[in-house]
Amino acid sequence: MPKKSAATTHRVVSSSEAHQASAPIAHAAKMERRPTINDVARLANVSKKTVSRVINESPFVREETRNRVAAVIKQLGFTPDPQARGLAFRRSFRMGLIYDNPNAAYVINIQEGALGALRKSGYELVVHPCDRTSPEFLSDIEQLVTRQKLDGVILLPPISEDDSLAALLKSLKCPYVRVLSAPLDEIENLVLSRDRESAEQVAEHLVQLGHTRIAMIAGPASYRSSHERLAGFSRALTERGLSLPPEFVIEGQYTFESGAACADVLLSRNPRPTAIFAGNDETAAGVYRTAYLRGFKIPDDLTVIGFDDSPLASRLCPSLTTMHQPIRDMGRTAAEKLMARVANLPGPTPSASTFMPRLVVRESSGPPKPPRVT
Amino acid sequence: MPKKSAATTHRVVSSSEAHQASAPIAHAAKMERRPTINDVARLANVSKKTVSRVINESPFVREETRNRVAAVIKQLGFTPDPQARGLAFRRSFRMGLIYDNPNAAYVINIQEGALGALRKSGYELVVHPCDRTSPEFLSDIEQLVTRQKLDGVILLPPISEDDSLAALLKSLKCPYVRVLSAPLDEIENLVLSRDRESAEQVAEHLVQLGHTRIAMIAGPASYRSSHERLAGFSRALTERGLSLPPEFVIEGQYTFESGAACADVLLSRNPRPTAIFAGNDETAAGVYRTAYLRGFKIPDDLTVIGFDDSPLASRLCPSLTTMHQPIRDMGRTAAEKLMARVANLPGPTPSASTFMPRLVVRESSGPPKPPRVT
DNA sequence: CTGAAAGCGCTTACAG
DNA sequence: CTGAAAGCGCTTACAG
């Protein structure tokens, strides 16, 4: 009480007096205690409400006052306490990142992209790995959102594809951004990767190389991107006078093991494919494995294409031709969209929220052998 | 005011009256507002302080009272607001995870291990990737710790090796746990990986296979683990009557590229080594690359051993023999140590905080050719 | 443009 | 074993 009343009642003292009076306190503050809005108010000779206005960039502060307060803030190294701020604002300044994705590089990159955008705006990121096959999946997330009072959440595939989750978040009035491979929601709620359209680049690349017996190991049916990549690839081949016959399409699981198993089936076909488009890089690594075990040389005997451009792609021998996604940028964009929505500001445009994966040609692709064209 | 005073002043009403009186409010709460400690207090017909005691498991509550309050808490689905709790406790219930480590799988695993332990105790994890080469490195972290009022931080290598950072945290009175490959601090502050001792397993393995010309690509001198792995490996070879000659030891950077470059040098030696212990899996992948380009078959022409057992290790062809670390467990242990320290409880013992990497033998290791023993 | 009061949802003293 | 008051550090709504 004494300290407090001293601060508030005697505010009329001159600025220099205030300095003197508070010198020892300021010193103690520097050493033991973070400066609070009250310290700033006292030293700047204004009310804490005015300090609050300066912090929150209210236009209703005289410039001179603003400068004076800003100077004290800087001198003290004051930053508002996020918890107190959150409590008073009835907002948490916290965003969630919810994922159930085994690809560590993907998650880390999204996370760092989002973190980069959030940090400078004073938001925190609450990371929430989860298990979408668990019966508590939805209730866990409901708990997370309500307990932590999340201001918004970023959903990564495959849970971003779950409409019941999106509905739940909507009912909780929790803004969300879904990182998705197809426009399954309003663009406002999306960071979109145009997997379908981009798969055309793979088709074009293989056709250019002269392949005609082309196979694909699709991702699991439960992933939307599986369908997108397959549909786009198939259509693009057809448009080029080729086709993706049923015996050359197998459903994998986006995993190393499934890639190996599916490749084993494909390479037993007669005639066998001369090129395999794997659903992702993990699957492609599985194809490498089977080729290695069966003595097929890549790319001489077999061309392999992946998707993701994960670190793995460049570490395989031969290095893997694959589709590159700007994952970090997608994470940053997702965070920016969320913050813009919360602040009721425009934010990234639809086109800035749409990403087109691009082909990175490496060593795993080459012309078919024996050459078709003599 | 009206709502509040009604709640506090009329607390003497019977439990059923309280129920009736608050029914509409309770309903509204369910729909629009999270229940607060006041709602619980009113319905349980106790003061909020008593509710607080129940939440915090104070022994000074009569069992009957505790049960009544607990029932209401359950019925309402009440959970304390972390921000309000943090503000009042003068604690944030937040731990930091600070890293500057390019290995995504490593970071994700530590993170998920830590998250698993923290979540059930109501702690959050603030993830903070950083750049230790930046001039603001230390001040950034100081800002992070003070602004977020972190209750503790987990430091991953290589920044866990930075004594000035540890000193800074100590001066900020911020408990920390360093994930380290050597006991550079009191065990209380450590989750320890015994890299030096574990490297003996690699030596033993190579000796068993019959190798005599053995090389190592060490990690960068700026990583403590580099020295540990090198020292342990070298000593173990010596103990077995072999040696690690200077021309067979090169400093790499723990990266794919450096692994390839160092392998190129080593494989140009005459005689060349028949086995290379790479500092980590990334480096080993670089060795694979050079072997691939120069036409060396692994393991027939060259045995390669890695360290980490990252996902990459099993995806390479041939699969990579490497040292496995229980990274997730290490993350969990780090979080548990931190929470125990904050709560002033025992926590994981020194031996539970010490992890011994173990050899996983895969396809990349075999006897040398031409065989030494005829 | 500025401030005094009340409140966010919890806890810490301090009483009983 | 239990509670009334004051406080954590900020903001909202209301005045001027």
Mean pLDDT by 10 residues, chain A (374 residues): 32 32 36 80 89 89 88 89 90 92 90 93 90 93 89 96 95 95 94 97 98 97 96 97 96 97 97 97 98 97 97 97 96 96 90 97 93 44
Question: Which of B147, B315, B318 has the CB atom closest to A79's CB atom?
Answer: B147
With an 8 Å Cβ cutoff, is A285 touching chain B? yes
Q: Which nucleotide is nearest to B87 (CA to C1')?
A: D8
Contact by Cβ (8 Å): A169, A142: no
Chain A hits for B292, Cβ within 8 Å: 317-318
For nucleic chain D, give residues with Cβ below 7 angstroms from it: A 1, 4, 33-34, 36-38, 48-49, 51-52, 55-56, 78-81, 84-85, 87-89; B 8, 11, 46-47, 49-50, 53, 59-62, 64-66, 84, 87-88, 90
> Residue A321: helix, strand or coil by DSSP?
strand
pLDDT at A345: 87
For B301 and D15, how far is CA from C1' in angstroms? Answer: 87
Interface mutation target, options B94, B123, B317, chain A, most CBs of A under 10 Å: B317
Measured distance CA(B257)–CA(B285) in Å, rounded = 9
Say if A107 is an interface residue toward chain B (CB within 8 Å).
yes
Q: Judge: B87–A81 Cβ closer than 8 Å, yes or no.
A: yes
Cβ(B132)–Cβ(B159) under 8 Å?
Answer: yes
User: Strand C closer than 7 Å to the CB of B38?
Assistant: yes
What's the pLDDT score for residue B57? 87
Best to test chain A binding among B172, B255, B308, B315 (most A CBs inside 10 Å): B315
Cα-Cα-Cα-Cα torsion A20, A25, A28, A32, nearest 10 degrees, comes to -150
Are residues A282 and B146, on separate chains, in Cβ contact within 8 Å? no
Nearest Cβ partner of B292 from A311, A314, A317? A317
pLDDT for the residue A314: 97
pLDDT value of residue B336: 96
Alpha-carbon B33 to chain mean position: 37
CB contact under 8 A, A289 and B109: no
- Return contacts of A18-21, CB within 8 angstroms, 24+ apart: A18/A42, A18/A43, A18/A45, A19/A43
Distance of CA B128 to the CA centre of its chain: 13
What is the predicted pLDDT for the residue at B117? Answer: 94
Q: Flag whether residue B317 sits within 8 Å of chain A, measured between CB atoms.
A: yes
Residues of chain B predicted below pLDDT 70: 1-32, 370-374
User: Helix A48-55 vs helix A63-76: angle between axes, to the nearest 10 degrees?
Assistant: 90
SS3 category, B102: coil
Q: By the 8 A CB rule, do B286 and B261 touch?
A: yes
Tokens 């793995």 correspond to what residue? A312
Å from the B49 CA to the D4 C1': 10
Question: What are the backbone angles phi and psi of residue A308, rounded to the nearest 5°?
Answer: 130, -35
Average pLDDT, chain A: 88
Token pair of A58, please? 């209210």
- For B55, the 3-state DSSP assignment is helix
Q: What pLDDT does A10 receive?
A: 30
CA distance A266 to A269: 5
- Tokens standing for B296? 């060396």
Quote the strand ranges of chain B, DSSP E.
94-99, 124-129, 152-155, 176-180, 190-193, 214-218, 249-251, 275-278, 303-305, 322-324, 354-355, 358-360
Do B82 and A108 make contact, defined as CB atoms within 8 angstroms?
A: no
Work out the end-to-end distance of chain A between its first and last CA atoms, rounded to an integer number of angstroms. Answer: 95
- Tell me the C-alpha distance between B97 and B150, whole Å: 10
Query: Tokens in use for A338?
Result: 């969320």
User: What is each CA distance from B46 to A153, A209, B5, B26, B184, in whole angstroms?
Assistant: 37, 78, 14, 17, 51
B305, B206 contact by CB (below 8 A): yes
Q: Please list every residue in chain B whose beta carbon sits closer than 8 Å to the beta carbon of residue A105.
A: 104-105
CA neighbor of A308 nearest in space, from A106, A99, A97, A102: A106
pLDDT score for A3: 34
Q: How many angstroms is C1' of C13 away from CA of B34?
A: 28
Q: Which nucleotides in chain D have some atom under 7 angstroms from a protein Cβ? A: 1-13
| Nearest alpha-carbon partner for A75 in A30, A33, A115 | A30
What is the per-residue pLDDT for B179?
A: 97
> Can you read off the two tokens belonging to residue A6?
């001293």
In B203-242, the residues whose Cβ lies within 8 Å of chain A are none
Strand C positions with any atom < 7 Å from protein CB? 1-13
